[in-house]
Structure 1
């Protein structure tokens, strides 16, 4: 026989909602996301090989140098994933469905050891026509390297719950 008197009843624990709600995002509002991330060669190799993305530009320094680069480049999709990740806490951590990325432009190569930081601006915020109590928010996100040079920009959208639902 099992003693259940010390087993916590998980239904009694309050759920702490994280992230933001739809009404927080008014067009023009700017979010400077936290401190950034230095992306290493190890990050790049792990990411590229896990995805079977075997481009020598990302995995072979000599090949990259022979094609005019100072070193092997970071896989651009690693940079994109990192930048999206840096913005999640401020923009979409409440868990609303991700609706996609548009207008994604890789402005310049990023190399192992570079540090990216990111900021986002709300470009549109509107109630959902099909989901009462939800809204669609559109952000333009820009990433910069440690020299404040733009390396990436894109537009993304999420469906977010209204404050009343959280």
Structure 2
């Protein structure tokens, strides 16, 4: 076991502030298929008891073919896909703006995500950090945008000025 530990190499993950430039696009990895079980569990553990998200007859009465996925689950799935490229190195999460849900997501839909760098600035209080903003869009398996938002994070810098 000790030989494995000694041979282990710490791999740098994620991007630093200098890796970003306005307009750079990140097509995020893998995609994620949402299952009925995940949708029901998410609504339950979050105590989100709107029958739209767990009662198929109620959902159909409102014109849906099935119970839609809770929009917060859609947000979490799409946001999560972006972490490896955008904020895996850490830094304070500063918020989300302009969150829009464009169409429902249903169990069985596969989501993918893409982010574009829309803002960069130096931190006024900490020269080891920069502040980056990205517009993230989530798409279903038909290529239709189902969610979009802009998020901002503090991001480590490679070097200090």
Classify the TM-score, shorter chain. Answer: over 0.9
Structure 1 partner of 2:129: 134
Deviation of the 1:101 alpha carbon: 0.6
SS in 1 for 2:115: strand
1:86 & 1:127 partners in 2: Cα distance? 25
SS in 2 for 1:143: strand
Structure 1 partner of 2:63: 68
1:16 & 1:131 partners in 2: Cα distance? 25
When the two structures are superposed, what TM-score results if normalisation uses the length of structure 2? 0.92
Deviation of the 1:80 alpha carbon: 0.2
2:32 & 2:53 partners in 1: Cα distance? 19
Choose the corresponding residue for 1:118, options 113, 131, 140. 113
2:153 is the alignment partner of 1:158: yes
2:143 is the alignment partner of 1:148: yes
- Runs of 4+ off more than 3 Å: 13-17
Count of paired positions: 159
Deviation of the 1:34 alpha carbon: 1.0
Structure 2: where are the runs of 5+ without partners? none
When the two structures are superposed, what TM-score results if normalisation uses the length of structure 1? 0.89
Structure 1 partner of 2:46: 51
Rg comparison, structure with higher value: 1
1:47-66 Cα deviation digits (max 9, x unpaired): 11011111100011110000
1:60 & 1:147 partners in 2: Cα distance? 25
Deviation of the 1:14 alpha carbon: 6.1
